Amino acid sequence: MQRDLGKRPRSFYFLAAFFALFVAFLYGPMSAIFVLSFQGPTGGLTFPMNGVSLRWFSALFAQERTGDFAGGFTRSILLALLVLSVTVVISVLAGLAFRRRFFGSTLVFYLAVASLIMPGLLVGLGVGLTYQTLGWSPSWFSSGLGAQLTWTIPFGLLIMFAVLSRFNRAFEEAGRDLGASNWQIFWLVVVPILFPGMIAVALFGFTLSYDEFPRTLLTVGAKNTLPMEIWGMTTNVTSPALYALGTVTTLVSFTAIVLSLGSIALIQRRRTRGLGKHDVVKSEA
């Protein structure tokens, strides 16, 4: 148990060792495929390494057999951005709505929970059947988008519940007392306070969508997103090119993480600076 001062208890070291093992468990297999993707030209899917080469990376981009890797990647990113924006807007609004009890609020809440727990394949099946019945053709930006939203929006709503439970309504009241319009209260008080929560919803929305498989499988239509391309590869590519694909997509994800965390840090820094300025203006006024 933690004390601010003094020696660390013995349990700390046990737990730290457990944590280290868990991290090794998370990263170990990934590092194995990272190494194996540099397998020599005669090497196979397992160790030992028969030399070192970049052959499988070039195979990835050259071979027709590996499918439409670049197209799938572009569509996945676009779809993830779309899901992110819609999820943030809808879950923030709904989160605000749930601060009041309104007739049917429990029902809407359980609808969201049901949507969250619905197995992904079933969402895909249902949306697919609906489109088929209506005679519409499914595509990643219509049925695919909708199917993914049934999972990202409830997630976003839960995050907003957690964020809003710590939100002090006195700030809104203060704004109102100072003569702010509702719109000003929303943009100048509510949104800045909720901003970190909105970032969390956005990050969740993006990752859940970028990697979504079971809901998208039956709703993606003719043009695949990246997980479908990868899934296709696992069934018909039996060379280390598969691992090369793993390495490339992982690097892309890592770049995305670094970029988004960097931009969050930047925004936060700018905001604290901006807040400082505001304080000066306010105190002068």
Partner 1 sequence: MRTPVRRRANRFELEDAIIKLPATAVSYLQVAPLLLVLLAFFGIPLLMIVGVSFFEFDGISSVPAFQFGNYTELFTSRNTLTLYVKTVEYALIVWAITLAIGFTVSYFLAFHVRSILWQMALFLLCTVPFWTSNIIRMISWIPFLGRNGIFNQALMATGLTREPLEFLLFSDFAVIIAYVHLFTLFMIVPIFNSMARIDRSIVEAALDGGSSGWRIIWEIIVPLSRTGIALGSIFVITLVMGDFFVVNMMSGGHSASVALAMYNQIAAVQYPPAAASAVILLIIVVLMVAAILKMVDVRRELAG
Tell the smallest beta-carbon distance from residue 61 to partner 1 (Å).
17
| Shortest separation between residue 108's beta carbon and partner 1, angstroms | 6
Q: How far is the CB of 75 from partner 1 (least distance, A)?
A: 15
Nearer to partner 1, 54 or 97 (CB): 97
For the segment 176-195, give every residue that binds partner 1 (CB under 8 A).
Answer: 181-184
Q: How far apart are CB 266 and partner 1 at their closest, in Å?
A: 17
Q: Binders of partner 1 among 104-133, rule CB under 8 A? A: 105, 108-109, 111-123, 125-127, 129-130, 133
- 265, burial (CB in 10 Å: exposed 0-12, middle 13-18, buried 19+): exposed
Q: Can residue 28 be called a binding residue for partner 1 (CB under 8 A)? A: yes
Name the DSSP letter for residue 54.
S
Residue 7 near partner 1 by CB under 8 A: no
Cis check: omega of the bond before 196, within 30 degrees of 0: no
Is 9 a binder of partner 1 (CB under 8 A)?
yes
Q: How far apart are CA 267 and CA 283, in angstroms?
A: 24
Tokens 């709503």 sit at which residue? 157
Q: Cα–Cα distance between 189 and 72 in angstroms, integer?
A: 40
Q: Which of 42, 55, 60, 150 binds partner 1 (CB under 8 A)?
A: 150
Neighbour-count burial of 103, counting CB atoms closer than 10 A to its CB (0-12 exposed, 13-18 middle, 19+ buried):
exposed
In the bound state with partner 1, the residue whose beta carbon lies nearer, of 61 and 231, is: 231
Q: How far is the CB of 155 from partner 1 (least distance, A)?
A: 9
Q: Which helix (H) or strand (E) holds 148?
A: helix 145-164
Contacts of 200 (CB under 8 A, 6+ apart): 159, 163
SS (H, E, C) 250-271: HHHHHHHHHHHHHHHHHHHHHH
265 binds partner 1 (CB under 8 A): no
Which of 67, 72, 138, 146 is close enough to bind partner 1 by CB under 8 A? 146
Residues 156-175 that bind partner 1 (CB under 8 A): 157-158, 161-162, 164-165
Q: Quick one: which of 72, 30, 80 has its CA closest to 208?
A: 80
Min separation Cβ 39 and partner 1, Å: 10
Closer Cβ to partner 1, 63 or 115, answer by number:
115
Q: Which of residues 36-75 bind partner 1 (CB under 8 A)?
A: 36, 45-47
